[in-house]
Amino acid sequence: MADVALPEVKLNLYNVKSPIQVKVVENRIVTKESSPNIVRHLVFDVSGTQLEGNVIAGQSVGVLTPGEDQNGKPHKLRLYSMASPSRGEGGQSHLISTTVKRTIEEIDGKLYTGVASNYLCDLQPGDPVLLTGPSGRRFLLPEDANAYQYLFFATGTGVAPFRGMIQDLDLSKTSATLAFGCAYRTDVLYADEFDPLARDQASFHFLKAISREDRRTDGSKAYVHTLLEDAPEAVRTQVAAKNTLIYICGLKGMEWGIYKTLLQQGHSSYFDPKNDEGVAWLKSVASGAAKITEEDFKTYVKPGPRLFEEVY
């Protein structure tokens, strides 16, 4: 397939040297109270700034945390994906939103809390925050978005861009599947939006893999990539369709299970061979002769024009 035409987007209207100050208007928790994880939905008012109307679903903004790191240098910029649709949160162009997970780690009994995520999660409505961006020019819906079908794979906050993209799509003209993975049922993000949408729109499917709770029919754990194996018929048809695009966002490493499953299922058209050896490898994979290893995958093929990925 030829390259998918992507829209022209605005980039770096604000940068680290000249960030823009905006205000937080909402900060609410989106994981359930009993969850061991904390993820929050933040809305920023960008009225009167160049960000208004210029940040689209799939792009990110940079956040500058006040203060200094342990070397006395200003904290480095951290990127956060937009969770709002391209027309703005709730259709209001002056509002943009993101989904932030508080990062926290204990190493040798010492507690480390992530700088930017905890700063953001602590902000109150009315608080100022310095942003840069927008950034990102490839992880976007195509220009002619409703001419394609979509399979969105997300783990955790990787769902943010898909929340915006799904709102950008006209589901009376196209179809989309959101395959979401997380550890506990209490961590399913935006289920209050996606569950009713899946109920009301036959063209939208919402699949969940809760790795520490769900078991598949053979007793094994459910992960985001096993959703491809256990998918309902409508989703299987979608994966096989020539106009389907696959987007992957979330935890680094999640992409490999999805790639392997696609190859095992014979969907090699999502990949491009790197060279003649890649062509031969894809053929042997298709005939069942080659064992699919991550090393061979990296050596011989790369994601093709129908695959989009943003992992962090």
Ligand X SMILES: Cc1cc2nc3c(=O)[nH]c(=O)nc-3n(C[C@H](O)[C@H](O)[C@H](O)COP(=O)(O)OP(=O)(O)OC[C@H]3O[C@@H](n4cnc5c(N)ncnc54)[C@H](O)[C@@H]3O)c2cc1C
Please give the residue ranges that form the binding site for ligand X (CB under 6 A).
60, 78-81, 98-101, 103-105, 107, 112-118, 157, 160, 310, 312
In the complex with ligand X, which residue's Cβ is closer, 107 or 289?
107
Give the whole-angstrom CA distance, residue 267 versus residue 242.
10
Find the angle CA(237)-CA(151)-CA(235) to the nearest 5 degrees.
25
**Helices 191-200 and 160-168: angle between axes, nearest 10 degrees:** 30
Q: How many CB atoms lie within 10 A of CB 47?
A: 14
In the complex with ligand X, which residue's Cβ is closer, 83 or 282?
83
Q: How far is the CB of 164 from ligand X (least distance, A)?
A: 11
Q: How many angstroms from the chain centroid is the CA of residue 241?
A: 22
Q: How far is the CB of 6 from ligand X (least distance, A)?
A: 16
Q: How far is the CB of 286 from ligand X (least distance, A)?
A: 33
In the complex with ligand X, which residue's Cβ is closer, 213 or 309?
309
Q: How far is the CB of 288 from ligand X (least distance, A)?
A: 37
Give the whole-angstrom CA distance, residue 139 versus residue 60.
10
State which residue has the least CB distance to ligand X: 114
* Strand, coil or helix: 206: strand
In the complex with ligand X, which residue's Cβ is closer, 97 or 149?
97
Q: How far is the CB of 84 from ligand X (least distance, A)?
A: 11
Q: Any alpha helices (H) in 92-246, and if so which ranges?
A: 115-122, 160-168, 191-200, 226-229, 233-240
Which amino acid would we find at residue 192? D
In the complex with ligand X, which residue's Cβ is closer, 99 or 177?
99
In the complex with ligand X, which residue's Cβ is closer, 97 or 261?
97
Give the whole-angstrom CA distance, residue 28 versus residue 42.
7
Which amino acid would we find at residue 102? R
Q: How far is the CB of 258 from ligand X (least distance, A)?
A: 18
Is residue 22 within 8 Å of residue 131, measured between CB atoms? yes
